[in-house]
Amino acid sequence: MSEMADRYRRRAETFERKVVSVHPDQWSLPSPCEKWTARDVVRHIVDMHEAMLRPLGRSLGPAPSVDDDPVAAFRAARADVEAVLDDPSLAGRPCDTPAGRVPAERHIDQVLSDDLLLHGWDLARATFQDDTMDPEDVERAWAAMTALPGDLVEKFRTPGAFGPGVEVFGPEVSVEDDARLQDRLLAFIGRDPRWRP
């Protein structure tokens, strides 16, 4: 298994544990993502799994909806992406992405794996779970985000730049100079690390 596939599986497992731990009465709680509930965070992640499959001419298989069963919906979407990562001919197939033409597994690594990390914080914070991210994942994400060209970061911060209703980053949030790296990462992408439901 490649390092990228391993990273996806590890982060998907962490995210799944958070989904499983949400109590039934918590799904409608607000999340740090403005206008999204806890359920909407999972819906976005499931939708992003489908977005990773689309360039390969694939789609999500039959599964319960996030409205009916968020856990089952995520598990099914995860299985569909893992099937791609487990097949070298699919994992290595070039995909056209906003960042250029890259192999499918790299697209999954650069977009979906990071989404699992960052939206895992959203879901945990919304539902009163431990929201501590893996420090190595935080360092890796921080290095990648801060290495992005300024014009691309601005595009990420521009609502609708990647399609109607799509917002990648929010406006950067101010944090203390000595804030821990996790908080600085969250602030960079537009989250307020002090946010509470």
Q: What is the pLDDT of residues 144-172, one digit of tens each?
A: 999 988 888 888 888 877 777 777 888 89
Residues above pLDDT 70, as percent of the chain: 99
Q: What is the pLDDT of residue 1?
A: 62
> What would the DSSP string read from start to end of the chain?
--HHHHHHHHHHHHHHHHHHH--GGGTTSB-SSTT-BHHHHHHHHHHHHHHHHGGGT--PPS---TTT-HHHHHHHHHHHHHHHHT-HHHHTSEEEETTEEEEHHHHIIIIIIHHHHHHHHHHHHHTT---PPPHHHHHHHHHHHHTS-HHHHHHHTSTTTTSTT--S--PPPP--TT--HHHHHHHHTT--TT---
Please state the CATH superfamily assignment of the domain spanning residues 1-131 in this structure.
dinb family like domain (1.20.120.450)
* pLDDT value at 48 more than 70: yes
pTM of the model: 0.93
- Break the chain into its structural domains and give their ranges: 1-131, 134-197
Structure confidence by residue, pLDDT tens digits, 85-132: 999 999 999 998 877 889 999 999 999 999 999 999 999 999 999 999
Mean pLDDT of 180-184: 97
